[in-house]
């Protein structure tokens, strides 16, 4: 027994082992997964130090190492224990023994301290010490002490390993290890996780690490029938090895039933020969078969002239055409370590300098480093960066909630420093330098990242999970995703993507991914459960470490600087003049280089196009008490080229009436100029008026986390009680919210004792997010404008914004492409309710244009199913759709006016009535269904179509994009 080197102390006498990539957290008096590294009162001990259970002299070829001192003998030692749980282990009696027995009472062990190992090795005239039989990583401290002594005596050290070391272990061993054979058991996480209990990526990155350090590497794959013997998997393994170096030998060995895996039988020779062939096709120079009698595939050939260099039969080895490490026939150097005088043939050269080793294991990966924790009193292990990707602002609200919970939690407020950063303001190149990250993200559109997470997504997409397998080594992370399960296969797509990609690039999961489902209305409930588990994992994994210089209880997310208006305006005017000069220069250059002065700018939510309102028409004029507007917006001088079915994003602003009320509540001057640090989706310098108008969501639905936050700013106990009741009781909050549709401005009016500063308010107020509208016009008729159709809702931000707009008023917008398209050559079923008919108007206007201009005379069968409240008041575009029917653009229409009779009739009822028609259209292999409307309607349509087609067939339509929907 000896105290380990590779571990860290945690609280409550727990320790974290840093020897292998499992990095076990070990409570007092327990062992890690290996069964041999035991925590004794807060210190980690290697129970098997100097106590090997297997000692033998073996030919080096048995390891197998075929291109490392051939024909030499290896003094081989192994112990009990292993960090893997391979169900097919062929040495299970050693590797698994310590997991089922008390390690102190294990018998059949040798007393063999390092000095005695060297003595016996020399006595047996062995050139090499091999740490083998079980996984040597778990007894690294013992092997390290042996290796140091061996090196002084000119004895070589080799590992036969599963390749699951940490960088800390590799850094210790690298100066003393000469060769390693690593088992690459498969090339899928499924295999590794289900059959060995670990992950694939650490093995992949360690093969490259050992190679880059100049340790001679050979790789072995035990081919198991039905598990890892497919052509695809074997090709992937071969390609990966070749991507590191084509001179790395690959051993493909036959499996036989062992331990818990039974009934597979012995691996057929044909499977090994298939792997041999695939390895050659991948460009590998040296592939060897094992556990079978096939002398032809155990030979070392010259990769250039194919001369037989070394013959093998079992462990009998004959070197006959290799001299000084070169082919006798053509003189080609053969990579390997053939003798003490031929070590220069190793590629790359052996690295022994500690600084060089450190540089290889910890490469500088980021181009630019931003210290978000500047001035922090907390060490890096206790700094947590919260990143969020948001499209509508909901994820930002949850991120703010997470921050507030962390800084007020008794378990974390004094032990960790938390910073929150919008992904818009985060450089993904910094990711490899981070220590601890919590990422919150939604999924946008058809499985896309939110706009502000696009840069992170593209950065990760550019990284090869095998070649960059150690990119995020040293980073711990956890992810929470927001989504809506009604979107089927797109649900949580981005949170799953980031979670998987982080892990494959070498990051370590701090706690499992959490999911909040908007459809099930359980975002808050799921988030709270995830947070409670996360905080436990955080304290357990990173250790509670109270700082001497404690951070204040209230840590501000934002800082506001009140500016001297005249000075600032003067300096800004100077800046504007400089910008104008630069602009003029740019215009001159543009005129010189281009025949036209057409803009090539791409607009988005951060850089919208400033359009203007050309027309505004009310579509509900029959006294129904509701309002629906058709807006025509100018696209002149933009480069926007939209198609039918695409979206227009609108950036609305708050009304003068509401921002005046807010200024009164917060007691601020709207004309005061401020500077916000960090900007976090605000403009850095602006007036309070501009801040309230363009950035603060004050009339939309109130996230219930805000009630908890507001409760901290009122001393009135009745107000506090009511606010907390809404926070804790999600059903009461939803019931209240659905009835009233109040925004934050209304809450502040109803709770007059809430005392907020501007800084307090801007920390938690949701940011105004873009609103997306399906385009209801056709570009062929007018490419210089675009039309959207909007139902106005009480207290809706965009509704109020549209209602107040006057002709020629400016309006900020951008275009977003979608895949919601009507194919003019395929039979179709169009299903819509309310304003969901808007995109179909544009699509059918396009058909009308094609027919009027004799571009396309006939169109396939197209059936429209449309529903709204009443025929008289709610059927927008009725005259137009009559016209489309008369022109043969619609084959037939089926209408459902839910309130025109005693028993409500909905679109799904009409679909059931036309079951045979719907089935007939979709029997055509190109038939498609397009659905547009509210979420509730979409779910009912899917349920109805499941009854018509069966769930399996409907899923097939969805997967093949023959069923497509646009819902909100």
57 close to 315: Cβ distance less than 8 angstroms: no
285 close to 245: Cβ distance less than 8 angstroms: no
Structure confidence at residue 433 as a pLDDT band (50, 70, 90): confident
Structure confidence at residue 450 as a pLDDT band (50, 70, 90): confident
How far apart CA 510 and CA 531 sit, in angstroms, is: 12
166 close to 361: Cβ distance less than 8 angstroms: no
- Mean pLDDT is lowest, of 14-23, 126-135, 596-605, for 596-605
Q: Where are the domains of the chain?
A: 2-294, 380-542, 656-767, 821-967
How far apart CA 70 and CA 60 sit, in angstroms, is: 7
Residue-wise DSSP of 815-867:
EE--S----TTS-EEEEEEGGGGHHHHHHHHHHHHHHHTTS------EEEEEE
What is the predicted pLDDT for the residue at 572? 44
Strand partners, 815: 648
* End-to-end C-alpha distance for the chain, whole angstroms: 64
Over residues 674-691, mean pLDDT:
83
Both tokens of 873, joined, read 């008041």
Residue-wise DSSP of 756-814:
--HHHHHHHSPBP--EEEEB-S-TTT-TTEEEEEEE--TT-HHHHHHHH--TT-EEEEE
900: exposed, middle or buried (Cβ count in 10 Å: 0-12, 13-18, 19+): middle
DSSP letter at 382 equals G
Over residues 395-411, mean pLDDT:
82
How far apart CA 15 and CA 4 sit, in angstroms, is: 11
What is the predicted pLDDT for the residue at 594? 29
Structure confidence at residue 624 as a pLDDT band (50, 70, 90): low
pLDDT at residue 468 tops 80: no
What is the predicted pLDDT for the residue at 376? 77
How far apart CA 180 and CA 217 sit, in angstroms, is: 5
14 close to 3: Cβ distance less than 8 angstroms: no
How far apart CA 509 and CA 96 sit, in angstroms, is: 26
Structure confidence at residue 259 as a pLDDT band (50, 70, 90): confident
- Mean pLDDT is lowest, of 297-306, 648-657, 671-680, for 671-680
Both tokens of 828, joined, read 């179709």
pLDDT at residue 108 tops 70: yes
Over residues 623-646, mean pLDDT:
89
Over residues 600-608, mean pLDDT:
75
pLDDT at residue 545 tops 80: no
Over residues 250-270, mean pLDDT:
88
What is the predicted pLDDT for the residue at 45? 94
Q: CB within 8 A of 885, min separation 6: which ones?
A: 892, 893
340 close to 324: Cβ distance less than 8 angstroms: no
Architecture of domain 656-767: Up-down Bundle (1.20)
What is the predicted pLDDT for the residue at 740? 64
945 close to 911: Cβ distance less than 8 angstroms: yes
- Mean pLDDT is lowest, of 314-323, 642-651, 700-709, 902-911, for 700-709
Both tokens of 867, joined, read 């529903």
Architecture of domain 821-967: 3-Layer(aba) Sandwich (3.40)
What is the predicted pLDDT for the residue at 37? 93
User: What are 716-731's pLDDT values in tens digits?
Assistant: 999 999 888 888 776 7
- Mean pLDDT is lowest, of 12-16, 101-105, 135-139, 166-170, for 101-105
pLDDT at residue 156 tops 60: yes
C-alpha distances out from residue 766 to 422, 697, 701, 702, Å = 13, 5, 10, 9
Does domain 2-294 fall under CATH 3.80.30.20? My reply is no
pLDDT at residue 681 tops 80: no
CATH code of the domain made up of 380-542? 3.40.50.360
Phi and psi dihedrals of 577, rounded to 5? -60, -40
Only one residue has tokens 């006057």, namely: 806
The vertex-640 CA angle with 638 and 642, nearest 5°, equals 155
Q: Which helix (H) or strand (E) holds 618?
A: strand 609-618
Q: pLDDT higher for 551 or 418?
A: 418
Structure confidence at residue 106 as a pLDDT band (50, 70, 90): low
Structure confidence at residue 592 as a pLDDT band (50, 70, 90): very low
What is the predicted pLDDT for the residue at 588? 37
pTM listed for this prediction? 0.65
% of the chain exceeding 90 in pLDDT: 51
What is the predicted pLDDT for the residue at 731? 74
User: What are 851-886's pLDDT values in tens digits?
Assistant: 999 999 899 999 999 999 999 888 999 999 999 999
What is the predicted pLDDT for the residue at 589? 33
DSSP 3-state assignment of 36?
coil
pLDDT at residue 226 tops 80: yes
What is the predicted pLDDT for the residue at 601? 61
The vertex-444 CA angle with 441 and 445, nearest 5°, equals 170
Across 84-148, the runs of DSSP E, i.e. the strands, are: 128-131
What is the predicted pLDDT for the residue at 379? 82
Q: CB within 8 A of 92, min separation 6: which ones?
A: 86, 258, 259
Both tokens of 872, joined, read 């008289």
How far apart CA 759 and CA 761 sit, in angstroms, is: 5
- Mean pLDDT is lowest, of 5-9, 347-351, 818-822, for 347-351
Pairing between β-strand 383-389 and β-strand 436-442 as defined by DSSP bridges: parallel
Q: Which helix (H) or strand (E) holds 931?
A: strand 928-933
The vertex-378 CA angle with 376 and 384, nearest 5°, equals 90
Only one residue has tokens 């009998």, namely: 316
pLDDT at residue 431 tops 60: yes
What is the predicted pLDDT for the residue at 99? 58
Over residues 133-141, mean pLDDT:
94
Same fold, 380-542 and 821-967: yes
How far apart CA 359 and CA 380 sit, in angstroms, is: 20
Q: pLDDT higher for 908 or 465?
A: 908
What is the predicted pLDDT for the residue at 911? 95
% of the chain exceeding 70 in pLDDT: 91
pLDDT at residue 581 tops 50: no
842 close to 880: Cβ distance less than 8 angstroms: no
């Amino acid at each position: 027994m000896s105290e380990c080197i590779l571990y860290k102390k945690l609280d409550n006498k727990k320790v974290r082992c840093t020897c292998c990539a499992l990095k076990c957290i070990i409570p007092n008096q327990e062992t890690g997964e290996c069964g041999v590294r035991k925590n004794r009162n807060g210190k980690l001990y290697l129970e098997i130090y100097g106590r090997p259970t297997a000692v033998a002299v073996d030919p080096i070829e048995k390891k197998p190492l075929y291109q490392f001192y051939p024909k030499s003998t290896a003094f081989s030692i192994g112990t009990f224990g292993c960090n893997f749980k391979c169900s097919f282990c062929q040495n299970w009696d050693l590797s698994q023994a310590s997991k089922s027995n008390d390690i102190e009472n294990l018998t059949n062990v040798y007393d063999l301290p390092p000095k005695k190992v060297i003595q016996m090795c020399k006595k047996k005239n062995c050139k090499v010490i091999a740490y083998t039989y079980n996984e040597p990583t778990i007894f690294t401290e013992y092997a390290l002490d042996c290796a140091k002594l061996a090196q002084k005596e000119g004895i070589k050290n080799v590992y036969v390993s599963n390749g699951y070391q940490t960088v800390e272990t590799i850094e210790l061993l690298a100066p003393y290890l000469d060769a390693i054979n690593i088992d690459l058991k498969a090339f899928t996480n499924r295999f590794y996780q289900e059959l060995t209990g670990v992950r694939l990526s650490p093995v992949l990155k360690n093969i490259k690490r050992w190679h880059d350090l100049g340790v001679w590497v050979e790789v072995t794959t035990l081919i198991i029938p039905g598990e890892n013997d497919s052509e695809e998997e074997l090709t992937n393994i071969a390609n990966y090895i070749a991507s590191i170096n084509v001179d790395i030998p690959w051993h493909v060995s036959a499996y036989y039933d062992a331990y818990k895996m039974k009934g597979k039988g012995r691996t057929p020779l044909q499977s090994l020969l298939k792997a041999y062939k695939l390895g050659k096709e991948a460009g590998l120079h040296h592939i060897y078969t094992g556990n079978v009698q096939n002398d032809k595939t155990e030979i070392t050939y010259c990769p250039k002239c194919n001369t037989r260099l070394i013959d093998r039969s079992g462990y009998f080895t004959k070197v006959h055409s290799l001299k000084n490490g070169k082919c006798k026939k053509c003189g080609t150097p053969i990579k390997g370590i053939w003798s003490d005088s031929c070590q220069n043939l190793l590629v790359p050269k052996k690295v022994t300098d500690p600084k060089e080793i450190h540089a290889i294991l910890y490469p500088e990966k980021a181009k630019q480093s931003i210290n978000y924790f500047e001035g922090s009193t907390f060490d890096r292990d206790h700094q947590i960066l919260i990143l969020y990707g948001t499209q509508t602002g909901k994820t930002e609200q949850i991120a703010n909630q997470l921050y507030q919970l962390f800084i007020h939690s008794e378990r974390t407020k004094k032990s960790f420093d938390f910073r929150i950063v919008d992904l818009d303001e985060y450089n993904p190149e910094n990711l490899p330098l981070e220590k601890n990250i919590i990422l919150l993200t939604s999924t946008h559109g058809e499985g896309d990242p939110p706009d502000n997470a696009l840069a992170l997504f593209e950065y990760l997409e550019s990284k090869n999970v095998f070649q960059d397998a150690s990119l995020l080594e040293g980073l711990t992370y956890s992810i929470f995703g927001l989504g809506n399960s009604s979107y089927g296969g797109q649900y949580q797509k981005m949170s799953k993507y980031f979670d998987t990609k982080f892990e494959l690039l070498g990051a370590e999961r701090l706690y499992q991914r959490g999911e909040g489902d908007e459809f099930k209305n359980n975002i808050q409930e799921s988030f709270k459960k995830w947070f409670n588990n996360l905080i436990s994992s955080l304290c357990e994994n990173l250790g509670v470490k109270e700082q001497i210089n404690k951070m204040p209880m209230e840590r501000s997310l934002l800082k506001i600087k009140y500016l001297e208006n005249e000075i600032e305006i003067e300096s800004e005017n100077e800046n504007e003049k400089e910008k104008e000069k630069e602009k003029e220069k740019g215009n001159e250059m543009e005129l010189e280089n281009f025949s036209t002065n057409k803009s090539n700018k791409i607009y988005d939510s951060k850089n919208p196009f400033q359009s203007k309102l050309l027309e505004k028409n009310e579509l509900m004029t029959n006294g129904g008490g509701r309002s629906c507007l058709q807006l025509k917006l100018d696209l002149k001088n933009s480069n926007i080229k939209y198609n039918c079915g695409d979206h227009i994003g609108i950036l609305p602003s708050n009304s003068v009436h509401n921002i005046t009320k807010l200024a009164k509540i917060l007691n601020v001057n709207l004309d005061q100029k401020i500077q916000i640090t960090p900007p976090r989706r605000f403009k850095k310098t602006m007036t309070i008026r501009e801040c309230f108008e363009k950035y603060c969501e004050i009339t939309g639905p109130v996230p219930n986390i805000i009630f908890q936050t507001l409760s901290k700013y009122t001393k009135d106990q009745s107000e506090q009680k009511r606010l907390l009741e809404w926070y804790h009781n999600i059903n009461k909050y939803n019931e209240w919210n659905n009835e009233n549709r109040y925004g934050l401005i209304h809450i502040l009016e109803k709770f007059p004792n809430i005392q907020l500063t501007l800084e307090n308010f801007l920390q938690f107020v949701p940011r105004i997010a873009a609103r997306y509208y399906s385009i209801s016009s056709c570009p062929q008729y007018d490419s210089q404008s675009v039309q959207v159709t909007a139902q106005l809702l009480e207290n809706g931000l965009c509704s109020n914004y549209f209602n107040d707009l006057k002709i020629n008023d400016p309006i900020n917008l951008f275009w977003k492409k979608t895949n919601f398209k009507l194919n003019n050559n395929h039979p179709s079923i169009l299903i819509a309710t309310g304003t969901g008919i808007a995109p179909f108007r544009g699509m059918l206007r396009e058909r009308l244009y094609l027919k009027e201009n004799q571009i396309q005379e006939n169109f396939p069968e197209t059936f429209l199913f449309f529903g709204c409240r009443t025929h008289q008041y709610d059927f927008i575009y009725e005259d137009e759709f009559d016209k489309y029917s008369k022109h043969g653009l619609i084959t037939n229409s089926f209408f459902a006016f839910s309130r025109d009779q005693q028993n409500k009739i909905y679109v799904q009822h009409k679909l059931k009535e036309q079951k045979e028609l719907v089935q007939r259209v979709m029997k055509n292999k190109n038939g498609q269904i397009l659905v547009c409307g509210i979420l509730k309607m979409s779910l009912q349509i899917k349920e109805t179509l499941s009854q018509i087609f069966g769930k399996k067939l409907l899923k097939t339509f969805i997967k093949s994009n023959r069923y497509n929907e646009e819902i909100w």
